[in-house]
Amino acid sequence: MKALSSIWRNTNVIARLTFREAARRRILLAALLLGLAFLLIYGLGFHYMNQEMETSPYGPGLLERNGIRNFMLLAGMYAVNFLTIMMAVLTSVVTLSGEISSGTIQTLVAKPVQRWEIVMGKWLGFAGMLTLYLLLMAGGVIALVYLISGYSPPHFGLGMLFLWLNAILLLSVSFFGGAMLSTLANGVMVFGLYGLAFIGGWIEQIGSLINNQTAVQIGVISSLIIPSEALWKRAAFEMQSPLVRALGFSPFSSSSVPSSIMVWYAIIYILLALGLAMRQFQRRDL
């Protein structure tokens, strides 16, 4: 019990420190202001398109209208997914390697804390910030669409959960790299992996459209290397309307749906990346 409360205290101190650093370095403020600007532009765009649809005498029927609204919402979510991932990587890529190379880590690790508690604390701090960011951005998009048009997408809770997992996935990979590599090498690694999953996802998408099994296989393999695009596709699948699904192919929706096994794979991937980050940092000579 005493050991547990000590772990709780230490991770908590580091998590709060991580939050405070982000606040002091104006990261939180910049993210909030630009997030609000994003929502403003999205809201305005959605409002005028929706108005056009509703007032035009030759406009689409209700079903088509909701289909178009769904398409617009997924486009917003696609941007939110990308921004959240950027946020996850750009803010965390420097956190371990930077403190090691600057030397600020020295007085921290000389305290009665375990190294993995420092990794865990930082991870929790960033995960907390990303959760708030995603709630603001994805929640904002969904709320705006609802307020303007009265439309809400199916399963948006599940959809947001998968977007959240995606951010956490890249956060954990960036921690893993940060425990071993320099900041730059880590950035190159994480974005390289992300790009690989991205192009793999497109190949899979097109492959499933033209019924080419090899292309689909390439996509699946790239999802095994890092399941980030798979999580987005699963999130999009949950939130897309039947009409958009019937269209089959769009940049923001999914025709080749990742299975539940892929979701579990992503969860294990996250735990493994974080666990290896803690192990690597625990062993490292500082």
Partner 1 sequence: MSNSSSSTAIETQSLRKVFGEKVAVSDLTLTVGRSEVFGFLGPNGAGKTTAVKMLLGLITPTSGIGHVLGAPLGDHRIRARIGFLPEHFRFHEWLTATEFLHLHADLYQMPGDLTNRRVPELLDLVGLSPHADKKLAAYSKGMLQRIGLAQALLNEPELVLLDEPTSGLDPVGRRLVRDIIHDLRQQGTTVFLNSHLLSEVEITCDRVAFIKHGEVLRTSRLKSLVEGELTVEIKARNLSPEIILGLSHWSQDVRLDGDHISLTLSSELELPAVNRYLVDHNVDVYALKPQQISLEDLFIQIVGTDGGL
Q: Among residues 112 and 157, whose Cβ is nearest to partner 1? A: 112
Amino acid at site 203: I
Question: What's the CA gap between 144 and 149, in Å, rounded?
Answer: 8
- Here's the x/- map for partner 1, 213-252, by CB under 8 A: it reads as ----------------------------------------
Distance CA 225, CA 194 (A): 10
Q: What are the contacts of 247-255 at 24+ separation with CB within 8 A? A: 248/209, 249/205, 249/209, 250/71, 250/74, 251/75, 251/78, 252/71, 252/74, 252/75, 252/77, 252/78, 253/71, 253/74, 254/205, 255/205, 255/208, 255/209
How far apart CA 48 and CA 52 sit, in angstroms, is 6
Interface with partner 1 by CB under 8 A: which range of 110-118, 188-196, 223-231, 268-276?
110-118
Q: How far apart are CA 251 and CA 3, in angstroms?
A: 50
C-alpha span between 83 and 116 (Å, rounded) = 28
Instruction: Identify the DSSP state of 112.
Output: S
CB of 113 to partner 1, least distance (A): 6
Nearer to partner 1 (CB atom), residue 28 or residue 137 = 28
Q: Is 286 in the site for partner 1 (CB under 8 A)?
A: yes
By CB under 8 A, what part of segment 90-109 binds partner 1? 102-104, 106-109
Contacting residue, 110, 210, 246, 261, with partner 1 by CB under 8 A: 110
Task: Report in angstroms how near the CB of residue 75 gets to partner 1 at its nearest.
Answer: 37
Q: Given the rule CB under 8 A, which of 111-119, 167-175, 253-261, 267-275 is the region that contacts partner 1?
A: 111-119
Min. distance of Cβ 13 from partner 1 in angstroms? Answer: 5
The number of residues in the chain equals 286
| Structure token digits, residue 40 | 């403003």
Size of the site for partner 1 (CB under 8 A): 24
Q: Site map for partner 1, 12-31, x if CB under 8 A?
A: -x---x--xx--xx------
54 near partner 1 (CB under 8 A): no
**Binding residues for partner 1 (CB under 8 A):** 6, 9-10, 13, 17, 20-21, 24-25, 102-104, 106-114, 283, 285-286
